[in-house]
Structure 1
Amino acid sequence: MLKAIQQSKAKLVFIGSDISPLTKKKLTDKGLFYEIPTTEAYTAAQLTQAIGLHRATIAVMDAGFAKKMITLLG
């Protein structure tokens, strides 16, 4: 996840709202530094349900999808 952010491959990062504060801060800080938007709109369980794999964070690589998600999230 951090590598995708650092290489600017990620266009949007979903961070589970219920993950550890240290992990949340690390991802949020990297996103701010590399100007990649992050959101904590969903819990890790909701992210897991959305993609069918157990994950607490998700990086969106597709710019069009990320743009639409940012619009929908407000």
Structure 2
Amino acid sequence: MLGLANAARALVNGETLIKSISANKVELVLIANDASDNTKKKITDKCQFYHVDYFIVDDIETISKAIGKHNRVAVGITNQGFAKKIKEMIGG
């Protein structure tokens, strides 16, 4: 599902992710469970402040492979439909 969202240009990652959360453009954030504690805290604090749902999911390799990029620690889904479907798949 992440690959489809990426192809539809409904994902943000990297520093763009933090800016997009602040601008209320992100519906859902997925964070790798093996991300550094500092990175997790930075992203989760931002999500909580702006009331964005987030999940700690698989490892960095799995997220990176799903979107076809290297070393992606977290991704934000900007499309409400994709976000809803991914939440259902995760069970949230």
**Under a length normalisation based on structure 2, what TM-score does the superposition of the two structures give?**
0.77
* 2:80 equivalent in structure 1: 63
* 1:43 equivalent in structure 2: 59
Determine which of 13, 18, 39 is the counterpart of 1:23: 39
Moved >2 Å (runs of 4+): none
- Aligned residues: CA RMSD: 0.8
Partner SS state of residue 59, structure 1: strand
Deviations 1:28-59 (A, max 9, x none): 01111111111111111100010010111111
Structure with greater strand share of residues: 2
Q: Could you tell me which amino acid in structure 2 is paired with residue 19 of structure 1? A: A
The number of aligned residues is: 74
| Long gaps (5+) in structure 2 | 1-16
- The alpha carbon displacement at 1:68 in A equals 1.1
Identical columns (%):
38
* 2:49 equivalent in structure 1: 33
**Under a length normalisation based on structure 1, what TM-score does the superposition of the two structures give?**
0.94
